[in-house]
């Protein structure tokens, strides 16, 4: 099996982030890629989400 591309990692993390990732797809992703890659991507997207919410709230207020 080949390593997942950055686009595949982003797709997997965003799908899991919003809750539409199927069990089969997540199993495939973790079999082909490393856990640390997905954890780092998850932390980056979580930070971006928090930043977006803080920015949105501060703009409205």
Collapse the DSSP code of 60 into the 3-class scheme (helix H, G, I; strand E, B; otherwise coil) and give the result: helix
Domain boundaries, the chain: 6-60
| pLDDT value for 55 | 97
Question: Are the C-beta atoms of 45 and 13 separated by less than 8 Å?
Answer: yes
Give yes or no for residue 1 having a pLDDT over 70.
Answer: no
**What number of helices (H) and strands (E) belong to the chain?**
3, 0
pLDDT at 21: 73
Encode pLDDT of 9-45 as tens digits: 888 888 888 877 777 776 777 777 777 888 888 899 8
- Which pLDDT value is given to residue 26? 67
Residue 21: Cβ within 10 Å count: 16
pLDDT of residue 9: 83
Structure tokens at 5: 């591309």
């Amino acid at each position: 099996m080949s390593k997942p591309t950055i686009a595949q990692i982003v797709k997997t993390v965003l799908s899991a982030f919003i809750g539409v990732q199927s069990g089969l797809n997540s199993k495939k992703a973790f079999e082909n890629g490393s856990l640390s890659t997905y954890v780092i991507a998850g932390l980056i997207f979580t930070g971006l989400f928090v930043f977006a919410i803080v920015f949105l709230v501060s703009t409205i207020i």
